[in-house]
């Protein structure tokens, strides 16, 4: 079969690999009808989320048809149409029963303390071959896969595999309540669904911070007020717009590849931008140290796949724009070796910080119903549909944040 394979930082290829087979009685083999490219894939290719095993098939978003099931799968048969949640969970351990399916005790072969198991990720997450492929082996299939109703089509269902539930999880972590003022950093696909979710939870006002005009336009159409951090100081702007109080709830939907302020719009990810103002107080040197420590100098070169140049930028802004005693929800991914969080500032303002990987299996069924009933239509976020043959070009456009490239569905 054809699959997108991780070879090295900055080196992914569309290869021909062996078809997956049933390895455990709880496995299913799914023929993918849709997959997608995600910001999390970019961290791995840029080298900011390390530990990838060469040869791993990438991708953790999928919809497909069950081809074959092991004898331990009792609820699905060949031919069933299913959504594959990004994270894998058993449904039987105490964490799964309590809804913390991203912290399942049994899904990760590295052991109960190893953390989240997901498709197409670093060695510490499995590793499991991913879903940017024609077929996939899905472990713990009976508990993990979500059967899809016919009236939720693939274009919508693929958005429910990871990014909509993650945005929803971000709004849950941030404890969004009716009337709240919410700031969402990042207007990528995940940030946009955090905006949509905050709205579903009754937020009063929602601000969206990014620097990509087409993404901020989309945020506006989803009901947010836009702040472009290349054009103004986002901290000053947000404090002014919130009556000097700040936001009750802040969501970080950016993660480790955050771009620092003051880049003036240069370069795909602003890496070749001007350090100007930041340089004066030594902030840019500190950001450089963060990047160096996180990537250990392995960041990709040649313009593409550039790591963000301000890993803690969003966390710093989040602390400065959240109201006293407010809550910050972090869904942006940070690697285990990232230790840059301004804890003193958070402590002294009585903040609540909640973070983590989305408990997909707990959230997805509810969102499938919301979409089926038509209470919210996620389709607007899907901007591109590409055959798997075009995947490398699609990856480059998404990595470079080309105008209008927000979410890419792949058709294997
Ligand atoms: N926690 C989870 O379970 C989970 C699941 C899926 C994705 N994620 C993470 O969510 C994050 C977003 O994913 P995505 O697919 O939307 O990625 P993306 O790369 O498409 O979007 C990130 C956006 O952040 C913007 N950005 C960069 N620096 C910024 C800054 N300083 N302030 C504000 N915005 C800034 C970029 O311009 C971009 O639009 C990633 O870190 C991804 O790994 C987490
Ligand atoms: Zn994803
Ligand atoms: Zn479990």
Question: Both 251 and 399 in a single domain?
Answer: no
Q: What tokens appear for 171 in the block?
A: 């709004």
CATH code assigned at 157: 3.90.180.10
Give the count of domains, the chain. 2
pLDDT score, position 262: 74
CB contact at 8 A, 66 and 78: yes
Number of other CB atoms surrounding residue 70 within 10 Å: 17
Atom 5 of ligand 1, residue of closest alpha carbon: 166
- Which ligand has its closest atom nearest to the C-alpha of 108? 3
Q: Which residues contact 287 (CB under 8 A, 6 or more apart)?
A: 260, 278, 309, 310, 311, 312, 313
pLDDT value of residue 302: 67
Tell me, yes or no, whether 384 lies in a domain: yes
Q: What pLDDT tens digit does each residue of the chain (412 aa) get?
A: 999 999 999 999 999 999 999 999 999 999 999 999 999 999 999 999 999 999 999 999 999 999 999 999 999 999 999 999 999 999 999 999 999 999 999 999 999 999 999 999 999 999 999 999 999 999 999 999 999 999 999 999 999 999 999 999 999 999 999 999 999 999 999 999 999 999 999 999 999 999 999 999 999 999 999 999 999 999 999 999 999 999 999 999 999 999 998 754 333 333 333 333 444 456 889 999 999 999 998 876 667 899 999 999 999 999 999 999 999 999 999 999 999 999 999 999 999 999 999 999 999 999 999 999 999 999 999 999 999 999 999 999 999 999 999 999 999 9
Ligand 1, residue 355: give the atom nearest the CA: 1
In terms of domains, do 341 and 407 share one? no
Is residue 176 within 6 Å of ligand 1 at its C-beta?
Answer: no
Whether 236 and 321 map to the same domain: the answer is yes
Say if ligand 1 is within 6 A of residue 191 CB: yes
CB-CB contact of 321 with 249 (8 Å): no
Q: Dihedral of the CA atoms 219, 384, 151, 139 (nearest 10)?
A: -100
Same structural domain for residues 153 and 202?
A: no
Are 325 and 205 found together in one domain? Answer: yes
Whether 306 maps to a domain, the answer reads no
The rounded distance, in Å, linking the Cα atoms of 128 and 20 is 11
Q: What is the CATH number of the domain that holds 209?
A: 3.40.50.720
Say if 148 falls within a structural domain: yes
What is the C-alpha to C-alpha distance for residues 82 and 76, in angstroms, rounded to an integer?
9
pLDDT at 133: 98
Residues 191 and 100 in one domain: no
Q: What is the pLDDT at residue 284? A: 87
For residue 355, the model assigns a pLDDT of 98
- Tell me, yes or no, whether 76 and 100 share the same domain: yes
* 52, HSE (Cβ side, Cα atoms, 13 Å): 32
Give the atom of ligand 1 at the shortest distance from the alpha carbon of 190.
16
- Domain extent, residue 239, equals 163-258+311-355
Contact 335, 50 (CB under 8 A): yes
| Ligand 1 pocket, mutate which of 43, 186, 315, 404 (most atoms under 8 A from CB) | 186
Could you tell me if 118 and 234 lie in one domain?
no
The residue contributing the CA closest to ligand 1 atom 11 is 332
């Amino acid at each position: 079969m054809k699959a997108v394979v991780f070879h090295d930082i900055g080196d992914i290829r569309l290869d021909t690999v062996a078809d997956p087979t049933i390895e455990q009685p709880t496995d299913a083999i799914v023929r993918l009808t849709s997959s997608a490219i995600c910001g999390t894939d970019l961290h791995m290719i840029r080298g900011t989320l390390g530990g990838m095993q060469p040869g791993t098939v990438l991708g953790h978003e999928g919809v497909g048809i069950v081809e074959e099931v092991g004898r331990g799968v009792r609820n699905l048969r060949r031919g069933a149409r299913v959504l594959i949640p990004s994270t894998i969970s058993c449904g039987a351990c105490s964490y799964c029963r309590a809804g913390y399916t991203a912290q399942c005790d049994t899904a990760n072969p590295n052991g109960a303390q190893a953390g989240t198991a997901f498709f197409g990720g670093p060695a510490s997450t499995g590793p499991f071959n991913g879903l940017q492929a024609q077929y996939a082996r899905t472990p713990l299939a009976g508990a993990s896969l979500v059967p899809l109703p016919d009236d939720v089509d693939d274009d919508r269902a693929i958005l429910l595999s990871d990014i909509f539930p993650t945005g929803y999880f971000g709004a849950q972590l941030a404890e969004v309540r009716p009337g709240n003022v919410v700031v969402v950093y990042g207007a990528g696909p995940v940030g946009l669904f955090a905006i949509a979710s905050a709205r579903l939870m009754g937020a009063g006002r929602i601000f969206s911070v990014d620097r990509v005009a087409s993404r901020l336009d989309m945020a506006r159409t989803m009901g947010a007020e836009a702040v472009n951090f290349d054009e103004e100081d986002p901290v000053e702007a947000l404090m002014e717009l919130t009556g000097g109080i700040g936001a009750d709830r802040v969501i970080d939907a950016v993660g480790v590849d955050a771009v620092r302020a003051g880049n003036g719009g240069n370069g795909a990810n602003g890496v070749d931008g001007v350090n100007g103002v930041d340089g004066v107080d030594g902030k840019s040197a500190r950001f450089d140290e963060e990047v160096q420590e996180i990537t250990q100098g392995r960041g990709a070169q040649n313009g593409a796949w550039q790591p963000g140049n301000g890993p803690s930028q969003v966390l710093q802004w989040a602390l400065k724009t959240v109201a006293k005693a407010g809550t910050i929800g972090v869904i942006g991914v940070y690697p285990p070796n990232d230790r840059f969080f301004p804890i003193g500032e958070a402590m002294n303002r009585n903040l609540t910080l909640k973070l983590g990987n989305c408990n997909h299996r707990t959230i997805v069924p509810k969102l499938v119903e919301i979409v089926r009933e038509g209470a919210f239509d996620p389709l607007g976020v899907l901007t591109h549909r590409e055959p798997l043959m075009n995947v490398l070009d699609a990856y480059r456009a998404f990595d470079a944040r080309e105008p209008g490239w927000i979410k890419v569905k792949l058709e294997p």
